[in-house]
Amino acid sequence: MCPVLPTPAQQRWSDCEVGVLIHYDIPVFEPTYSFRDQWGYVPDAGIFRPAQLDTDQWLQTAVAAGAKYAVLVAKHCSGFCLWPTQAHEYSVANTPWRDGQGDIVGDFFASCQKYGLLPGLYYSSSCNAFCNVDNPGLVRDGNPVAQQRYNDIVMRQLTELWTNYGPLFEIWFDGGALPPEQGGPDVASLLQRLQPEAVVFQGPEQLPSLLRWVGNERGLAPYPCWGTTQTLTREGGEKERRDLAGSPAGDRYAPAETDMPNRDQRRAYAGGWFWREGEDDTLYPLEHLQDCYLTSVGRNSNLLFGMVIDDRGLVPAADQQQFAEFGKWVEEFQARALAETAGEGDRLVLNLHQAATVDHLILMEDTALGERVRAYRVEAKQRGSWQEIATGSCIGHKHIQPVDPICCDALRWTCLESAESPQIRRFAALGQ
């Protein structure tokens, strides 16, 4: 059976490998606010006063981390909007910030263009405390008139976001999008009309370029983690799932995105997604981020880091340093490639320029032709004889495989099972 193929948008997304997810909302200015515990109340928009807000600084930090795309949370669960929406009054237009004339979404797009990052937007249609809506996107009292009014607000705001700023690389639906047959707005038709080239995280199932949730917010993709799947998601991330590893027999290509905060989700405010004063000590150490890179990008997924913005409107200095250290480590890790090759067929031999110690392997398939490899082994040539050092199953876009350090002068990759003839985009050895 021929493998299921990704769309060009999904291929482009996979090649990006690392992105950032930027959270900024009214609770940053009222950290005691908990929308579900205080239902019916939202903080006054007048408390939103980020005196030094600078989206250039945000995106410079993302570039330093090695990110190729950035997703801005334009509206989170409070309902407060980071752009001057015409749908209701709860937005930056009714704040002291820039005398109500500012537009963070517009600034974000300009900064993305300036620093060469692909822009994405997160809009929660499933939860909005200002509009009395909670997961999965239904008005709490079940009033059909109020529900229709909310659906109209969603469609108007998404139209604003998807027409006023330019093409989007990624659209994020945390908690999915309630379909019309269950009482929700017709988001799918609007998206297909206004942003058909975007990849869509947890979006309506009929869309072609879907991404699925990996099942946790710990930077941990399972292995194997297939790009094809039979299980799509509409989750909010509150509870982990272990059934989202995909399947080589999957009938949809919807690769997993591995999202995680850059702060300890067990100790930091709001699971580490939002800033609160005095929590710099909750930043994950560099070693933890390194491990997460290997268990996300290294397992056929993309790594999407949460990035907090403080009450000044800036990425805190400690976070800037953490992201810069991570980006430097990724560059140094990739620079440790000793040799690489590519090719078609069941066997590839990688000759090193001279005997060297290998400790990681990188394998990539040409996923434009589908995920073809189902099982393989890798052998190292040491003193004229071959010995097995690794086995695996899923490769997909990229598999980074640690191995026990071994001094050798050649490596041999052999496909043991495949759907069609393997197309290996890259077979590399890393070491010293």
Q: What is the 3-state secondary structure (H, E, C) of the chain?
A: CCCCCCCHHHHHHHHHCEEEEEECCHHHCCCCCCCCCCCCCCCCHHHCCCCCCCHHHHHHHHHHCCCCEEEEEEECCCCCECCCCCCCCCEHHHCCHHHHCCCHHHHHHHHHHHHCCEEEEEECCCCEHHHCEECCCEECCCCHHHHHHHHHHHHHHHHHHHHCCCCCCEEECCCCCCCHHHCCCCHHHHHHHHCCCCEEECCCCCCCCEEEECCCCCCCCCCCCCCEECCCCCCCCCCCCCCCCCCCCCCEECCEEEEECCECCCCCHHHHCCCCCCCHHHECCHHHHHHHHHCCCCECCEEEEEEECCCCCCCCHHHHHHHHHHHHHHHHHHCCEEEEEEEECCEEEEEEEEEEEEEEEEEEECHHHCCCEEEEEEEEEECCEEEEEEEECCCCCCEEEEEEEEEEEEEEEEEEEECCCCEEEEEEEEEC
Residue 310 has pLDDT above 70, yes or no: yes
Residues 357 and 227 in one domain: no
Residues 347 and 329 in one domain: no
We report the CATH number of the domain holding residue 388 as 2.60.120.260
Residue 14 has pLDDT above 70, yes or no: yes
Residues 196 and 243 in one domain: yes
Model pTM score: 0.97
Residues 129 and 22 in one domain: yes
**64-108 confidence digits (pLDDT tens):** 999 999 999 999 999 999 999 999 999 999 999 999 999 999 999
233 — pLDDT class (breaks 50, 70, 90) = confident
268 — pLDDT class (breaks 50, 70, 90) = very high
Select from 309, 334, 359 the last residue of a domain: 334
Q: Is residue 402 part of a domain?
A: yes
Residues 143 and 240 in one domain: yes
- For residue 365, what are the domain limits? 338-431
pLDDT score, position 360: 98
We report the CATH number of the domain holding residue 252 as 3.20.20.80
Residues 221 and 130 in one domain: yes
Select from 304, 334, 364 the last residue of a domain: 334
Q: Is residue 3 part of a domain?
A: no
Residues 280 and 135 in one domain: yes
Residues 110 and 211 in one domain: yes
